[in-house]
Amino acid sequence: MMPDNPIKKFKRKATVLLMMLGAGMVCLKTGPTLAAASYSGPGPGSALRGQKIYEQTCLTCHQADAGGVPGMTPPLQKSPYVQGPAVKLISIVLNGLNDGVEIEGETYTNPMPPFNTVLKDQEIADVLTYLRSHFGNKAAPITVTQVTKIRQGIKK
Amino acid sequence: MKKVSLGIYIILFLTLIALVAGSSFKFPPHRPPKSALKLPGGFQVRVIADGLGAARHLAVAGNGLIYVKLAKLKNGKGIIVLRDLNGDGTAENVSGFGNYIGTGIYVKDGWLYASSNTDVYRYRLNENGEVIDTAHAEKIVTGLLDRHEHNSKSIVLDNNGFLYVNVGAYSNACQLQDRAQGSVGMNPCPILDSAAGIWQFRVDKAGQTYSDGVHYATGLRNVVGLDWNTDMDQLFVMQHGRDQLFQLDPNLYDAKQSAELPAETMYALHEGDNAGWPYVYYDPFQKKKIVSPEYGGDGKKTGGENAVDPVAAYPAHMAPDGLVFYTGTMFPERYRHGAFIAFHGSWNRAPEKQKGYFVVFQPFKNGKPDGNWEVFADNFAGSDNISSPGQALHRPCGLAQGPDGALYVSDDAKGTIYKITYDAR
């Protein structure tokens, strides 16, 4: 291989830098707009409120990085449960779970208590909306209507 | 036509490989990386194997053959055998058997004992410490409870033909609804009849169930590390204290108190002892047994008058998963008769920084803990700034002493097996 021409090398570096700068500016400019657009249902504050609920209620077990506890508490990063069907996800928060969950060949043994008496519908929608847009998860927000519907379904 | 037959040959060949691999798998020879563990002066550490996955407890046979129990099957096997053929401190020969997951493993008097999360098995060893028939285990205990939480069954033997098995509580604090804020403690706690204690069985009788065993000790929330102390001829156990005082009772405890309470505790047990769970927990600052908030406690009220006191207490939530009394002569005099404890590392201190992820030495004198514990092997996690246990590179779990007096440690995060030796030169 021929060594790179230093001028070419500099040009390439400069181009990459400029592109990064440009992308950063676009992000800065469109960031909040994009975020607002993706939370059009539950409102832009949902994920922000959800973060507080995560820190107060979920963090001790699921941990600050949502990495869970190996063998005990399932991780919520890039999670098939968090990004999966809303009905199942909401039901887990309302009813708890003690099935020895298995994710990618790892089994998690600690039970999750029901949060139906601890969290209000809006709070459940908020915390799930937060999780579905953080920790490597990408899924549609959860609305308070969805949670209420499932809670009423349970009552019947 | 030619293409088709070639394809068939390839498929046959691959099937053959798969069959051979399935019947007696061997890891390819490989030299593990150097360990980053920190040890006191004069001690050396070698990584003798790695990549075993969830390596829980381990045992060393008389000739130095190492048996590791896995909580997750590796190539379909639940027990790994490590053999250092040329004595260079690295296992060149790795094989496996047993198709069940579990934690407990122990070698004594020509037998290998291993546990699943419900049963205990044993295998006859030959004079070289090898299992004679890996395909046929004798099931000596069966039907122990496994309800997910605290389901590992740790095992140890005494010198009189008895086996001791821990059955952990399938609960944090015996609340009506486990780990739910505001849920009351069940009174009496129904878990205590078949879990949260130690059961004693005969080592030489097949198919024993709860009713064949002796309910040796009760009121122990979850024990993972346990060992028989030959000086005292007595069982010593490490209890994992309860979790989540703040999350379950935010009016009585704050997050900081919840991170520091209760102590992880060491008990020296006699038959019939009760350690008090779930009614009381041990507060290492007040040095008292305090009534659990689920049973009317206020953080100050003492209780458990009939329960035994711990013989030593350690910082909260560090998760003592391995205990071994040092009976060798390789290590300096002060280590002899003392205890090594593997602290797996906490999760329940969040949002505070996590703690543990090290092996501790507890000095002993006349069969009792004597003086302060000290960190012996450190830096399993690779950092002392762990906020979530998943960030730890390694987590010490099992401990065993080799016939030469070396100390072996297993890590169940990555499956690394360490050998710690002493040479003052």
Which among B419, B320, B347, B410 is positioned nearest to B54, based on CA atoms?
B410
Of the candidates B247, B390, B412, which has its C-beta nearest A75's C-beta? B390
Strands (E), B168-303: 197-202, 214-218, 223-229, 234-239, 264-269, 273-274, 280-283, 288-291
Chain A residues near residue B389 by CB distance under 8 angstroms: 63, 67, 69-70
Residue type, A79: S
CA distances from B274 to B218, B243, B278, B280, B306 (A): 5, 20, 11, 11, 7
How far apart are the C-alpha atoms of A63 and A5, rounded to whole Å? Answer: 49
How far apart are the C-alpha atoms of A125 and A50, rounded to whole Å? Answer: 8
How far apart are the C-alpha atoms of B408 and B423, rounded to whole Å? Answer: 16
pLDDT in tens, B270-326: 999 999 999 999 999 999 999 999 999 999 999 999 999 999 999 999 999 999 999
User: Which residues 12-31 of B have a C-beta within 8 angstroms of A?
Assistant: none
Contact B276, B242 (CB under 8 A): no
The pTM score is 0.87
How far apart are the C-alpha atoms of B186 and B218, rounded to whole Å? Answer: 16
Q: What is the DSSP annotation of B304-352?
A: -TTSPPPSEEE-TT--EEEEEE---SSS-GGGTT-EEEEE---STTTTS
- CB-CB neighbours of A19 under 10 Å: 10
**Assembly ipTM:** 0.85
Buried b (16+ CB within 10 A) or exposed e, B377-391: bbbbbeeeebbbbbb
CA distances from B315 to A24, B239, B261, B324, B404 (A): 46, 12, 8, 19, 32
Kindly give the pairing relationship between strand B93-97 and strand B320-325.
unpaired
Could you tell me the two tokens for B33? 């990386």
How far apart are the C-alpha atoms of B53 and B254, rounded to whole Å? Answer: 36
Interface probe for B, chosen from A60, A72, A112 (most Cβ of B below 10 Å), is: A60
Of the candidates B180, B390, B413, which has its C-beta nearest A63's C-beta? B390
The B396-401 sheet, strands edge to edge:
B43-49, B417-422, B407-411, B396-401
Using the beta-carbon criterion (under 8 Å), do A110 and B413 form an inter-chain contact?
no
Cis before A70? omega within 30: no
Using the beta-carbon criterion (under 8 Å), do B178 and A106 form an inter-chain contact?
no
- Beta partners for B234? B229
DSSP, collapsed to helix, strand or coil, labels residue B91 as coil
Using the beta-carbon criterion (under 8 Å), do B149 and A113 form an inter-chain contact?
no
Cis before B278? omega within 30: yes
pLDDT in tens, B121-166: 999 999 999 999 999 999 999 999 999 999 999 999 999 999 999 9
Contact B416, B394 (CB under 8 A): yes
Which residue has tokens 């249902």? Answer: A41
Give me the tens of pLDDT residue by residue for chain B, a chain 425 residues long.
Answer: 444 455 555 555 444 444 433 334 555 556 667 778 999 999 999 999 999 999 999 999 988 899 999 999 999 999 999 998 777 778 888 899 999 999 999 999 999 999 999 999 999 999 999 999 999 999 999 999 999 999 999 999 999 999 999 999 999 999 999 999 999 999 999 999 999 999 999 999 999 999 999 999 999 999 999 999 999 999 999 999 999 999 999 999 999 999 999 999 999 999 999 999 999 999 999 999 999 999 999 999 999 999 999 999 999 999 999 999 999 999 999 999 999 999 999 999 988 899 999 999 999 999 999 999 999 999 999 998 999 999 999 999 999 999 999 999 999 999 999 999 999 87
Q: What is the chain B residue with the closest CA to A117?
A: B181
Of the candidates A59, A71, A99, which has its C-beta nearest B71's C-beta? A71
Could you tell me the two tokens for B359? 């092996």
Using the beta-carbon criterion (under 8 Å), do A109 and B71 form an inter-chain contact?
no
Q: Give the residue numbers in A contacting B (CB under 8 Å), as ranges.
A: 55, 59-61, 63-65, 67-73, 75, 96, 98-100, 105-107, 109-114, 117-118
Query: B257: part of which helix (H) or strand (E)?
Result: helix B255-260
CA distances from B276 to B265, B291, B310, B367 (A): 12, 9, 10, 23
User: B53 and chain A: CB distance < 8 Å anywhere?
Assistant: no
pLDDT in tens, A93-142: 999 998 878 888 888 999 999 999 999 999 999 999 999 999 999 999 99
Chain A residues near residue B245 by CB distance under 8 angstroms: none
